Structure 1
Amino acid sequence: MAAGRALRLLAPLGCRLPQHGPAARRLLLQQPRRGLRLSAAAAIQVTVRDALNQALDEELERDERVFLLGEEVAQYDGAYKISRGLWKKYGDKRIIDTPISEMGFTGIAVGAAMAGLRPVCEFMTFNFSMQAIDQVINSAAKTCYMSAGSIPVPIVFRGPNGASAGVAAQHSQCFAAWYGHCPGLKVVSPWSSEDAKGLLKAAIRDDNPVVMLENELLYGVPFEMSEQAQSKDFVVPIGKAKIEREGTHVTLVSHSRPVGHCLEAAAVLAKEGVECEVVNLRTIRPMDIETVEASVIKTNHLVTVEGGWPQFGVGAEICARIMEGSAFNYLDAPAVRVTGADVPMPYAKILEDNCIPQVKDIIFAVKKTLNI
């Protein structure tokens, strides 16, 4: 484990350069390094990596209390290049490289938040946040409640979460259900570039501890970013889901990378006359169950999709909340969950592929729910 972890520090995955089309590359040459900007009213393609970088840059510039710390975030520009260019711009006091000790630097960040600063604490992978679980839960999550609201803890814990590619069991867990279980935390899980930028800015401005679960495989993926999202004032409200695709036959609820799989499955099923409504949760806690209920009332069917394990998962919570609420009376079939396999993630690619929900699994679940 120690050797494997050292290798990830020296040669981390996900260090690919952002991918842009010809138009975006021209814009990069014309505009300042801080990020893509357009004077005309038009959407542009921005990778999730660049969107996160923009959000950090804008919030560091906006509020001098904001700082970033974590392993390799400064001189190395971040293990995944999320913090690229920020150390040169803001210096050692705002962008801080730490030793390989999550327990230590997370405790420092939590203490700084209690003292009035607004730290962004990066984990190289959320699997390593287990080293700091006491600081995240016992120190950050519970302090505001235990102090009767007199001690806010405005801190963001962020980094890649869930399965990547070929990193085996110790680097592949989804922590959405783990952290979503704990009162005192807000938990967000972005899919697109707009999600990533807007949620990170909202998390930094929030007075509560926020866990931001990103996905390593999405970092290099370009998404269309609207003119509104290019603004420095753009935020995505925490606790509000988004309908990514309208539909009438079945509701697909997901978060993070599987949202893309749901949209792919919906496109395939549309050719067969099945219209899926795709709900991008964006926030795990507090969960926007009202949007899910409204969709289920419309479609009368529910399928949840997640990369995490099935037992006590996000999908299990959604199904329970629907069963307990008024939307249950509108269901024409039992809700179905599509999840990761209930095993530690294997290293072999063919086994890994069979442990992660695929488009075909979502299509199968939809047809099972609709009895077609």
Structure 2
Amino acid sequence: MLELAEDEVKNFFKVWAIVFASLSYCYYIGKLINPKGYTRLVAIIPIITLFLALPLNLTSFHLGGMTCFFIAWLANFKLLLFAFDKGPLCANSSISFAKFLALSCLPIKIQHPPHKKSLKSHPSIYNYIIKGILLCLIIKIYDYGDYIHPKIIWLIFFFHSYFTIELVFAFLATSTNILLGLELEPQFNEPLISTSLQDFWGKRWNIMVTRILRPTVYLPTLEYSTKVVGRTWATLPAVMSTFFVSAIMHELIFYYLGRNWPTFEVTWFFLLHGLCLCVEIVAKKLVGGKWRIPRWISGPATVLFVVGTGFWLFLPPLLKAGLDTRPFQEFAAVAKFVRSLKAALTF
């Protein structure tokens, strides 16, 4: 297990060395190929293809999961926008090489104009300390996994993932802000207080993905659909297209993590939510704001629907990929490595 962990770390650095070299190529291609559009896209397509293949070199939940999300999803979608002179990579024609690299594969943005936010606008350091302590406690609980009901383990795994993402992004936010003056995109905005599916998916859950799918999928589909069905109902095919692309990307990420052929439960999860969101949009248009479900009903109903469909369609592929056991094994390998390193230093 220890040798496998060392190999994974080596592969991780190799993968990211290739990523940086590839993004360097894209940066200079943007300067050399002035005609934006398909000419630049043809030059970038090999990099997009490479970024889809690179995560296959990693198998761990933590290193592999983050890498496939950052390059196969974020970087590729940003490069597609870059080909047509859109998106964050084209927000400033004089963008520096370092900022181009950071913006390409990390969920960050340039402040316009640069400004310092008040301390109240960011979670306090104590917030992250508490989450770090809770994450350590969760890791310790895994030692007693044989005595805990599997459903409880699944719930613990959810919080494990949530706290890990929060802490990793907090580290990235601090680093990029200090080094480059960039601000990290928020990941979540209190999703448990959502009052509707529109509120949950549009404003509170995985916000960075929403912001990258909007210009790449939603807006182009909306523009085309407006010409076909009119502006009133063009939102519906745009929503379904966005959820379909999100479904495909999730299937791809799940494949990276488990190397299991898709069973398409995740696709049905997103298509179901897209369809229900369309029904919600149509209902709101028909009612016209004259009647609204009370928050104390719509809020719990939304959370129950998301959690219920998640356990039904979203969770099984994760369990099939072994994500209820593999994170524990990875932490055990890290702990063993730390103990061996400590023993070598004391010797």
Query: Fold-level match, TM-score > 0.5?
Result: no
Normalised to the residue count of structure 2, the TM-score between the two structures is 0.29
Larger RCO, structure (CA 8 Å, separation 6 or more): 2
Higher helix share: 2
Q: Greater Rg, structure 1 or structure 2?
A: 2
The structure with the greater share of residues assigned to strand is 1
